[in-house]
Structure 1
Amino acid sequence: MTDPLTFSYYGGSAHRWAPQPRLDGDRRCDVAVIGGGFTGLSAALACAERGLSVILLEKEKIAFGASGRNGGQLIPGLRWTASELEGEFGCDRADALFDLCWRQNRVKARIDKHGIDCALKAGHLEAAWTPKDFGAMRREAEYLATRFGYDSSIVAKDQMSAHIASPLYHGGVYDPQGGHFHPINYALGLGKAAIAAGVVILEDSRALGIAAGHRLTVEALGGTISADYVIDATDSWIGDVEPDLGRYTVPIMNYNIATEPLANAEALLPSDAAVADSRFVLNYFRLSADKRLIFGGGERYLQTPPRDIAAFVRPFMAEVFPQIADAKIDYGWGGAVAVTMNRLPHIGRRGNVFYAHGFSGHGAMITTLAGELIAEAMAGTAERFDVLANLPSTPFPGGKWLRRPLATLGLLYYAMKDKLG
């Protein structure tokens, strides 16, 4: 599996996947799913498990988008902390959100159920870039322990060497419920499980729009799909299918590199945890199963990639790990992260059309949950779906032409604050 712009480590180490056919003609089903990433695949699988006939359309190949390009980090929760959620929404809603987004590890449940081989490992470390950040992390960890009985470990600065061989960080919080995995192999595992459950997956089949009528019709290159329900799981491309929903997100480009296998890999990250730091433009990194450092750093607000992705990301890696500043980089790749105004996902339904997008760089765990909750709501039990669907959402200002430039100005402001400390 290759990416037309770059060649990723994930693509280079993906399990075998039999290419699926294109849409050719008109079809009917109970549920049409648009998008072959984590959200769409998990929704399609969960619907099929309920006895519904499902057709999934993917514009490119399974896991072509963010689901196959991310850092492979599994981070419980949302972009807001649990205490922020309680402060904004009150105790009852905070309880419901915590139960779903922190306690529900649907990724591990799917891996266990279907025997998905995706190099799953436990442990995630949030690393404090400043002493102030560490103070906030410590308070949040204490709040989680007291309020919810949530198990995490506060790591003082002088204890950080047990996790990371870098002097830059002022402490952190280790979460054993988090972890990391091979995202494409997870997606392919979901795809194979979906096919086994009866889902028809059609690749190279671009959806053009959704038309209302007695039944919904997904209009696509090559034909149409008539369905009782439609699930739009296109994330960064949602505006291509439903332009009004595209107003709720802007795409931010993130880039990753993978070094050659490192002889000193275990010395870099002794606990083998995934790490993300606390900067606004954060660094995030982990070891692969074959002992490469996978490192994400920096971001761009243009959708065109840098001419040399390895050269773009290397300085960020060298700042954290100067001991491997000159390590050979075998892979460089990138992709778009769809972010919302408030960094909370935008999930909901309009009639019989369900949607979930805008996971804002925090989606590797919650996307599987979102897909399953959509199937649950479709089957008539919407209480848990509504917990996420009722999160506030606001379109970016500026309309079609100014939305991205205005959002970019705001993002640049916070990126500059990073540099100024």
Structure 2
Amino acid sequence: MKHHKLLGMLLIAISFSSYGQFTAGLKGTLITSIKSPRFFAKVNGYEVFESNSGDGKGSAWGPFVRYDFPRWYAQIEASKGQYSPPGLTASSPTYSSGTYMRFKRQDARLIIGYKPLPWLRVNAGVVGVRNRYQYPLSNDSYIKYLQEQILQYPDRIDSYKDNLEVARILAAVQTSYQLSLTEGQVGVGADVGGFTFDLTYNRSLSPIVDGIYYQGKPYTIGQHYSFWSISAGYRLLPLKTFLLQPRKNRRTYERIKKTIPYYRNEVSAGLGITSDDFGGAWIYENRYTRYVHRRFGLTAIAGLVRSFEDYSQFLPQAQVGYQLSTLIRGLPLYTRRHHLGLSAGRVFTFVSGFKPSYGSGYNRNGQLYLQTINVTSNNRFEKQGRGVQFQVDYEFLPTDHLAAGTWFRFQKSEVLRYAAMGFQIGYRF
């Protein structure tokens, strides 16, 4: 009897697998335009409201598994990355300041989708998010500084007490961010061969700040957020479908391979944007690849990364990064008109920039109407470090010599971490 049950289950599994298809791969995501809906609250008489200063961004990468039916599909994803959710601003008549948080993010997604066309997808799903503070909370040092100023200059207590109260409220807010969240998402996607592209809109279903305690009293604050994301991935499994060309006729395969021109050198220029915390950043770079085999080569990249952002309320920070990378490059997809490249290696980065400091604040009738900043030689900084790079790129070859396409990169170094997406154009010889 047990054997009959096992046989029945096996027949059901075989018939189910013949009806659809499992695929699996890797994808990278750029998170952009993280915003918070408008809201307003009072904490101990001080105003607290959303802060959408700058353009919060993030990035993530991870595997996905999909099961396709003729018209429907189900997909599971897991990703790991970082992002900057919207902050909160606390304000008094004479002073205001905000929180700007950075989290490491892990999430798992369950997605159900419909395919109106074989290559076009619309979908909806639910996301479980786990946050972890990426940077230590820093308001305590500012609170200590204000307390020392009050003790040192008791005649200026009125000018410092509002600053101190705002700083204490923000410290309470910083410790109230929720580390476990639920999001909902809707999106549209397209499949081109083994490639998969998605544009997705996410919104928090549970608040990222769900009330705070200040001086022993609870205050109702419910902050939600939403964002758009762009993702690109490649289906690696089944291997014979997406990576390895059929070789039923060995002679035919060898003849076709010989017709693909083999060039040992490729030069290209690339332009892209990064997942910068606030503000924006762009990349320009030149690349040279020396192929030692049709599918393998060594790549050298010289690049420039420039960014301008707000790093403390309204204070601007500008920096330029110079990068040199050496990567090992492989082409898992290699045809006459299409190349899929995977590259990994080391990067050296030198960063130069400036961070101005607060100057003087001028009040009129109890209102702050002018805030100055100080820019001196002491505000300039330089740093350097080494790290790793991983890149996925796609090239379309309209001719045997010209190549153009897109690329997606993750970089982790001692001085510069980012994810980036961009375009490239090159020449093979």
Name the TM-score, length of structure 2 as normaliser: 0.19
Higher relative contact order (CA 8 A, sep 6+): 1
Name the TM-score, length of structure 1 as normaliser: 0.20
Higher strand fraction: Structure 1 or Structure 2? 2
Larger Rg: 2
